[in-house]
Chain A
């Protein structure tokens, strides 16, 4: 029996190795990507849940704030607890805006 020794082509060898390795790497890459996506989906799902809970809390707080800042309630407190009264229009001072940058200077004079 005659053995013929042929010189191996390194490129072909590499190609064979690549043909085996590449699909394996691709499969692993896909799995890795997929698992990462799922992990992000979990995280987003949690955040979405958290967001909804916070939104619900926000609405509750907005309602509480609206109730506490009810003018009727404030008026009652102001009158009964602090003895405040409604503005006496005779004592109202009308503030005129002027172009001069003269902050908070005041004086008695004719109204301009």
Chain B
């Protein structure tokens, strides 16, 4: 539980003269739920893209699942799952076809995706609609399905970029239950969010302001440090000093 799976040291991303991510350092332990917080435009998404092998960093050091983000982006991609900000499955494919497709591009064998797909459909209670096009499903279900598919290939880490945007509180709760379950199964969860109540669910969090990590601790630790009762207040104090 204590070995670290993501190690970041002075990681920087520059676009021209603009430093989107300014020398951040952090460490994520295996199996923990790590909340990656920050205001819009603080550099969260850029940082996450670098860690998931989508974007090459300008300078610094970072190891993800034991691979270097500068040289081994392909190995990183194989060992992570990724769920984007926007809904990331195909609306014009059925649930089954989506599962088959993502299983396919992650190199799962036919038997594997079939088995896992069936288990997943059963667990989410989608048996009756598995042959339906995705666009006919409510958003909450799609979101849960997207998460399940993102961890279909048993990644070591799953990156979730604002996964609960636009869904109702009940679905959000259910979604977090799924996150807990995944973490319980040993998958490290790296999640960005705007909702401060969700931040409370995380084991540890970091807060980014203007490309820098300004706060980095457990939710309890942060509340104590800033002498406030909720994460919301912590956020306001950190973001507007």
Q: Do A and B come from one complex?
A: no
